[in-house]
Amino acid sequence: MNLFKNRFLNLLIIGLATLIFTGCVSQQVKTGAATPPVQTTSGASVKNSDPELSLMVSDEAEWRASEAKMMAAEWRFHNIVDTEFVKKYVTIPPAQGVTIIDSRPYLPKFIKGHIPTSINIPETKFNDMAKLIPSDKNRVLIFYCGGFECKLSHKAATIAEGLGYKNVNVFAAGFPGWVRDKNNYPSVSLEYVQQEIDDNKMLLVDSRPKKAKFDKGHIPTAISLPDADFEKLNGKLPKDMDNLLVFYCEGLECKLSHQSAKRAIALGYKNVKVFSDGYPAWKKAFGEKAQELPQAKSSKDEGVLDIEEFKKILAEKPDSIMLIDTRDPDEFKQGHIKSAINMNIDKLEKSVKELPADKMIVLVCSTGARSGEAYYMIQDVRPELKNVWYVDAGIKFNKDGSFTIAKPK
């Protein structure tokens, strides 16, 4: 009997401890529900080449471990929200009284995919672009970036709160957390659509009425599939459910492309995106030549160093390159590649004129966001440097100098 009582008491103590721990954790995250479980069939992003999205297909244990590490970090912002919280404000037309802000660099991240209705204010340019945020200090602000290991949104949120905004939140799971939910899809920018037209790898779908809109003007290569006739005409869509589908309509206030995207996902399509700015943005960019195929300005892989080549250089000739880790000093201290030097964006911008012209320069970070931003900054300031590259991949740095790379999916 005593043995039975002891076991019962032990189980009771364990149960109470679990409840207390769970309650404590749940209080730290504003939510409507827990972060969704892994959805490896989620769409839009499994085929996306952005390495941030490799986080999306990681197993549940790794995802939760990354979340726990972020929650314990000293640098994290104090108001953390989850996917369900963000979903409430992702509406078409955009919700009143709320601004969703992507803190990643415009190039190469925001253009490839972002949460619908969000605006882009890179953390490194926050002070210059803060005027894009309405002045109402009670406005709901939601910052996000490249996932649990990305500090950009936390830093931007801290600045915003310092400016007097009272309802500031960070969606720490970020863009990978958004597309992790199979029912969500990303928006893409005009540059992305232009490049995909040039590469001929997508089906561009005009969701507007055919006679009233499409026949009077549309984006080159697009097919007409009015949202009102979606059920009747969806046979126009490819049989391969992995094909890239990009829907558009009449701009940010237009629901048609978003409704069609949801219908396509319901049919089983796995790589669905929306060009939210739509035909008005295209026409504004190309004017009277809006229906002619434009010349793509540059490859979407501009400046990206092949992962295998990068690993080969480090293994055989590490001294042949100037390897710059663009993360913050505290991250660098926790682990970095042995031959790397640490220069975050601010420091690199101040020292860009000192970079050597006779040596290959390679930029790295943990997701490809900050290294990509550094690459384009160097291109703007010193276009004469032709041997500059960045690694667009998810990199985990270890204290012993070793590292692992998650290849783009």
Reported as type and span, the H/E element at residue 142 is: strand 140-144
Mean pLDDT across 68-96: 96
3 band by pLDDT with thresholds 50, 70 and 90: very low
Residue 30's SS3 state is strand
Q: What pLDDT band is residue 156 in, cutting at 50, 70 and 90?
A: very high
% of the chain with per-residue pLDDT over 70: 82
Query: From residue 64, how far is each of 20, 108, 147 by CA, in Å?
Result: 19, 27, 12
Q: What is the average per-residue pLDDT within 291-297?
A: 54
**Which pLDDT value is given to residue 178?**
97
Q: In this structure, are strands 271-275 and 223-224 parallel, antiparallel, or unpaired?
A: unpaired
pLDDT at 393: 87
| pLDDT mean across residues, the chain | 86
The average pLDDT across 277-294 equals: 81
Rounded distance between C-alpha atoms, residue 44 and residue 260, angstroms = 14
Rounded Cα gap, residues 115 and 60, in angstroms:
22
Residues 6+ apart with CB under 8 A from 108: 300, 302, 368, 372, 375, 376, 392
How far apart are alpha carbons 245 and 270 in whole angstroms? Answer: 9
φ, ψ dihedrals at 107, nearest 5°: -110, 130
Helix or strand (DSSP H, E) at 26: helix 2-26
26 pLDDT above the threshold of 60: no
pLDDT at 290 over 90: no
Structural domains in the chain, sorted by start = 23-180 (3.40.250.10), 190-289 (3.40.250.10), 307-406 (3.40.250.10)
What is the per-residue pLDDT across 307-337, written as a single tens digit (0 to 9) for each? 999 999 999 999 999 999 999 999 999 999 9
Beta-carbon count within 10 A of 134 CB: 12
Q: What's the CA gap between 135 and 152, in Å, rounded?
A: 22
- DSSP codes of every residue in 317-362: -GGGEEEEE-S-HHHHHH---TT-EE--HHHHHHHGGGS-SSSEEE
Residue 271 confidence (pLDDT) above 60: yes
Q: Is the pLDDT of residue 395 over 70?
A: yes
Band of the pLDDT at 302, cuts 50, 70, 90?
confident
Does residue 59 carry a pLDDT above 80? no
The confidence band for 394, taking pLDDT boundaries of 50, 70 and 90, is: confident
Nearest to 407 by CA among 387, 386, 391, 390: 391
Average the pLDDT over 237-265 and give the result. Answer: 97
21 pLDDT tier (thresholds 50, 70, 90): very low
Arithmetic mean of pLDDT, 374-397: 92
Asked if omega into 383 is within 30° of 0 (cis), the reply is no
Band the pLDDT of 22: cuts 50, 70, 90. very low
Q: Is the pLDDT of residue 240 over 90?
A: yes
What does each C-alpha distance from 306 to 53, 55, 80, 297, 303 come to in angstroms?
18, 20, 35, 21, 10
pLDDT at 58 over 80: no
Residue pLDDT, tens place only, 335-367: 999 999 999 998 999 999 999 999 999 999 998
Q: In this predicted structure, which of 50-59, 155-164, 383-392 has the lowest mean pLDDT?
A: 50-59
